[in-house]
Amino acid sequence: MAMATVSSAKRSLRAELKRRLRAMSAEERRRQSHLLTQKVIAHSQYQNSRRISIFLSMQDEIETEEIIKDIFKQGKTCFIPQYQFNSSHMDMVKLTSPEEISLLPKTSWNIHQPGEGDVREEALSTGGLDLIFLPGLGFDKDGNRLGRGKGYYDTYLKRCVLHQQVKPYTLALAFKEQICPHIPASEHDMKVDEVLYEDSSAS
């Protein structure tokens, strides 16, 4: 597929997925988030990972708060995104406790993240990551992911490949409403290893 075709296909699919997500009730979002939290905690890749990166959820994403609490409960190390808004650069920086999240300043996207002057340990400078939980707007069963168009995760995953011997396992968290028959992808798009959603079978 030509680049122009891919980007226009992505644009219309993004609009459709945003509509679908807006139509979900808060109760349904909570129900699926709770179910996915259970799936994550039982997942062998999660159990065997020590250094984990996870996103702080926006309103239309699987709620990650309970997973974050479990990461700390299990004594694993937790890293969260620190986005640079004028580029596609993102770091994964260390979180010291689940309680700390509500104290972090909010970005223009209404997500908590450490402020610009807040210098923290970056995952790749201290040994890399075992597991990365990815958000996204849409996914297909082959692991193609439709992000929000900024390229943060694609860029970060390419950095991981340069810094680590073993590529981190990538696990996407999705509402079943976000699963599509086919996500248009170009060669720059990184596939995810597994998409976790209500009806996904354990791999």
**Model pLDDT for residues 48-82, shown as the tens digit of each residue:** 999 999 999 998 999 999 999 999 999 999 999 99
Residue 202 has pLDDT above 70, yes or no: no
What residues does each domain of the chain span?
A: 3-196
Give the pTM.
Answer: 0.94
Q: Which residues are annotated as a binding site?
A: 10-14, 56, 61, 145-153
Model pLDDT for residues 86-139, shown as the tens digit of each residue: 888 999 999 999 999 999 999 888 899 999 889 999 999 999 999 999 999 999
Backbone φ/ψ region at 73: left (φ over 0), alpha (ψ -120 to 50), beta: alpha
Mean pLDDT of all residues in 30-42:
98
State in words which class domain 3-196 has: alpha beta
Strands (E), the chain: 51-53, 77-83, 90-94, 131-134, 138-139, 145-146, 169-173, 194-196
Q: Which residues are annotated as a binding site for ATP?
A: 10-14, 145-153
As separate numbers, helices (DSSP H) first and strands (DSSP E) second, the chain gives 5, 8
The pLDDT value given to residue 28: 98
Residue 203 has pLDDT above 60, yes or no: no
Measured N-to-C along each axis, helices 65-73 and 26-42 cross at an angle, to the nearest 10 degrees, of 30
From CA 161, how far away is CA 166, in angstroms rounded? 8
From CA 61, how far away is CA 137, in angstroms rounded? 8
Amino acid 101 reads I
Q: Which residues are annotated as a binding site for substrate?
A: 56, 61
